[in-house]
Chain A
Amino acid sequence: MVPTSYYVLLSAILFTIGVLGVLLRRNAIVVFMSVELMLNAANLALVAFARERLAVEAQVLVFFVITVAAAEVAVGLALLVSIFRTKRTADVDEVSTLKG
């Protein structure tokens, strides 16, 4: 069997890439994708640990995460479309009027 730590390592790498995506990319949609990647990385680690302990509850949890992620994407993309309509761009740096 593949040790759990391999999966966790992979999850950590993917999560870091997601974080970097949020920090580096300016395209709001790509930023959003990076957030999804982070969610997936967390799910992966969760399932890996669940496999180690054979805990079905963790699968239930992942199921919920995926479902709520779907809702989140729907609302988030709707917001992006709204923003795009007024700003004519999907650059997150353009949406910076709320500042001191």
Chain B
Amino acid sequence: MELLIWLIPLLPFIGFLLNVFVIRREREAGLVASGLVAAAFVVTLIAVAMLAGMPPEERRIVSTAWEWINTGSFRVPFAIMFDPLTAVMALLITGVGALIHVYSIGYMHGDPRVVRYFAYLNLFVTMMLFLVMANNLLLLFLGWEGVGLCSFLLIGFWFERKSASAAAVKAFVVNRIGDAAFILAMLAVFAYFGTLNFYGDGEGGQLGFLERVSDIAGLRIGPDWQPIFVSTAISFLLLIGATGKSAQFPLFVWLPDAMAGPTPVSALIHAATMVTGGVYLMARAEPLFVASFTTQGWVAWIGALTALLAGTAAMAQWDIKRVLAYSTVSQLGFMVAACGMGAYVAAIFHLLTHGIFKALLFLAAGSVIHGTHDTQDMRRMGGLKDAMPITFRTYVIGALALAGIVPFAGFWSKDEILAHAISHGQTPIFVILFLTSLLTAFYMGRQVALVFFGTQRDPSYHPHESPQVMTVPLVVLAVGATIGGAINLPVLHWLTDWLEPVLHEKAGEFNLWLALIATAGAVGMGYLGWWVYTTNAAKIKIGGKDPAYRYSGDIWEGMEEAWYFDRLYQRTVVAGFERLADFLARVFDPQGVDGLVMGVGRFFGGLANGVRALQTGYVRTYALVFTVGVLIVLGVMLWFAR
């Protein structure tokens, strides 16, 4: 069993090594990469089956490969673990990952750097698996940074494009802010628990810190008049880390730009898996978050605010992928808000369903882009439903799932979050989230209408359906998006039971009225969106304004610009840094640093000039001085030897 769970991350890693060092041809690269990830999926399935065969309270396997760091009291084992939460994450990563690998074979066909692409992709899967399987914060951080690196490499995969490399750098830099907080959180955890392990190894060794949260209960730091609970400090730092990785307010700005990467990358990394790392972290560190009432409030509000902000922004986008990107941010906001309200199972549930249907939507969008010869602007599309029937149908299924229409997967998970909010009296959060879900339905209706209905507004290309290697994953994912909600149906609540050993949560009540109202609202808003943009299709011009712009004016422009956050950061933080760098380069470096260095040089130069006179070159004089020294030493020794 331990060997089996080591196989899960190692199989993609082998693929990475093969792609880096051995494989030179495109075809082999795709096959090896997809094959090994698929194999990892199979291994994960077997592992899950074996895990299910154990008694619920024993469902955690910890395996230590070697002592990674051992410096005195700071010891970190290279240990991974496998428990129900990890299991579902690993299933999502390897399953969706395998499909996206297969899809990539078709999508990336003909690109000159395909081998490198698959190497990155395999490395990403490895790192993501380490992230979810790590048994300590440091190994998790390794995965965390590893996926960040892969994200950077893949966003900037077409680095010839200025925008792509700029977006890559932006993603990397914004994530650093969160990572800094993560490191601080690690230091705090080590300071207060003396270990970075989540759980003990089950063999009588030291317990992990998640099992010892009670150690810091009531422990306060800070000045007497304004103390902070240690749990609040740690969990808040982790929250900041999560906002970076999961693109939450205020650090969400990098995700829409990240769409500059290849579309399968957007599907895998920036929708299904990596960006959910923050949510996973919160679920994993649930005991810490639950211990802090303050942080929980912040989490809920940040999630809700992000959901609303991104939802509105998604409404006004023209780029087919940016719509989905803002939608992703919005849905991540849902999950985070769920975490903040204590509905961790719902958050994970939504994470899983979202992972499936958002991957489906991205892949379908990729198929559209592929079929329209790299067109991304929806104003140049329209009427594609006849040219790309499979893409159209799967896209609609994805849209229905995202909009939360019965019986598609998205409905069940979103409904669970809303129900939890209302049943726990989180009314303001509920209102925001409900509003956002309505907006979601609206912009998905808009998008479907813009892309597939009406007539083709740009006649410069001939749309065609994508090859089978791309459509088959779409169909598989569409099936998942349709029936995926079954894993946690209100009556059966399999997922809740499965995660019970980790998250200790009971299934919530199913709120029939809420479900009815939400469905009705979603259907209505979805139809409204579709109707507005099909009837006004004629008014949409390439490069023109949105029909809704007439009614809302500046607000619409604000939504289009995602409420000017980019511009804000550009004018404050970035401008400030630029000015600082300018100061350092033009003033401080030549005058301060160079002055210091040259000053030291000049000082010693002067000193040397003075001392030079002593160096006569006469060996005999040196010997004389030497003798004086010997005499002094001997004299001192004599004096003290008395």
Inside 8 A of B618's CB, which chain A residues have their CB? 92-93, 96, 99
Most A Cβ at <10 Å: residue of B613, B614, B618 = B618
Does residue B624 face the partner (Cβ distance < 8 Å to A)? Answer: yes
CA distance A98 to B619 in the complex (A): 10
Does residue B615 face the partner (Cβ distance < 8 Å to A)? Answer: yes
Task: Give, as a whole number of angstroms, the nearest-CB distance from A29 to chain B.
Answer: 14
Does residue B53 face the partner (Cβ distance < 8 Å to A)? Answer: no
Does residue A95 face the partner (Cβ distance < 8 Å to B)? Answer: yes
Are B612 and A100 within 8 A (Cβ)? yes
Task: Give, as a whole number of angstroms, the nearest-CB distance from A12 to chain B.
Answer: 12
Task: Give, as a whole number of angstroms, the nearest-CB distance from A62 to chain B.
Answer: 22
Does residue B468 face the partner (Cβ distance < 8 Å to A)? Answer: no
Are A22 and B620 within 8 A (Cβ)? yes
Are A23 and B624 within 8 A (Cβ)? yes
Does residue A97 face the partner (Cβ distance < 8 Å to B)? Answer: yes
Interface residues of B in 174-195 (CB under 8 A from A): none
Given A100-B611, A100-B614, A23 contacting B619 (CB threshold 8 A): no
Does residue A42 face the partner (Cβ distance < 8 Å to B)? Answer: no
Inside 8 A of A26's CB, which chain B residues have their CB? 620
Are B620 and A19 within 8 A (Cβ)? no
Inside 8 A of B619's CB, which chain A residues have their CB? 92, 95-96
Task: Give, as a whole number of angstroms, the nearest-CB distance from B592 to chain A.
Answer: 33
Does residue B22 face the partner (Cβ distance < 8 Å to A)? Answer: no
Are A93 and B615 within 8 A (Cβ)? no
Does residue B617 face the partner (Cβ distance < 8 Å to A)? Answer: yes
Are A22 and B612 within 8 A (Cβ)? no
CA distance A19 to B629 in the complex (A): 13
Interface size on A, residues (CB 8 A): 13
Q: Mark interface residues in A64-100 (1 if CB within 8 Å of B CB, else 0).
A: 0000000000000000000000000000110111111
* Number of A-B contacts defined by CB within 8 Å: 32
Closest to B608 in A: A100
Q: Mark interface residues in B606-628 (1 if CB within 8 Å of A CB, else 0).
A: 00000111111111100110010
Question: Mostly helix, strand, loop or mixed at chain B's interface?
Answer: helix
Most A Cβ at <10 Å: residue of B614, B619, B623, B624 = B619
Are A96 and B616 within 8 A (Cβ)? yes
Are A19 and B627 within 8 A (Cβ)? yes
Most B Cβ at <10 Å: residue of A24, A99, A100 = A100
Inside 8 A of A23's CB, which chain B residues have their CB? 620, 623-624, 627
Are B620 and A99 within 8 A (Cβ)? no
Are A100 and B623 within 8 A (Cβ)? no
Inside 8 A of A99's CB, which chain B residues have their CB? 615-618
Closest to A96 in B: B617
Are B623 and A22 within 8 A (Cβ)? yes
Inside 8 A of B616's CB, which chain A residues have their CB? 96, 99-100
Task: Give, as a whole number of angstroms, the nearest-CB distance from B615 to chain A.
Answer: 4
Are A98 and B620 within 8 A (Cβ)? no
Contact for B615 among A19, A22, A92, A100, CB less than 8 A: A100
CA distance A77 to B150 in the complex (A): 67
Q: Mark interface residues in B573-614 (1 if CB within 8 Å of A CB, else 0).
A: 000000000000000000000000000000000000001111
CA distance A63 to B613 in the complex (A): 42
CA distance A58 to B615 in the complex (A): 39
Interface residues of A in 12-60 (CB under 8 A from B): 19, 22-24, 26
Closest to B613 in A: A100
Inside 8 A of B611's CB, which chain A residues have their CB? 100
CA distance A98 to B612 in the complex (A): 11
Are B623 and A97 within 8 A (Cβ)? no
The 9 A-B pairs of least Cβ separation, nearest first, read A100-B612, A99-B617, A96-B617, A100-B615, A99-B615, A22-B623, A92-B619, A96-B618, A98-B617
27 A-B residue pairs with CB within 8 Å: A19-B627, A22-B620, A23-B620, A23-B623, A23-B624, A24-B620, A26-B620, A92-B619, A92-B620, A93-B620, A95-B619, A96-B616, A96-B617, A96-B618, A97-B617, A98-B615, A98-B617, A99-B615, A99-B616, A99-B617, A99-B618, A100-B611, A100-B612, A100-B613, A100-B614, A100-B615, A100-B616
With A23-B627, A92-B619 given, name 11 new contacts (CB 8 A).
Answer: A19-B627, A23-B620, A23-B623, A23-B624, A24-B620, A92-B618, A95-B619, A98-B617, A99-B615, A99-B618, A100-B611
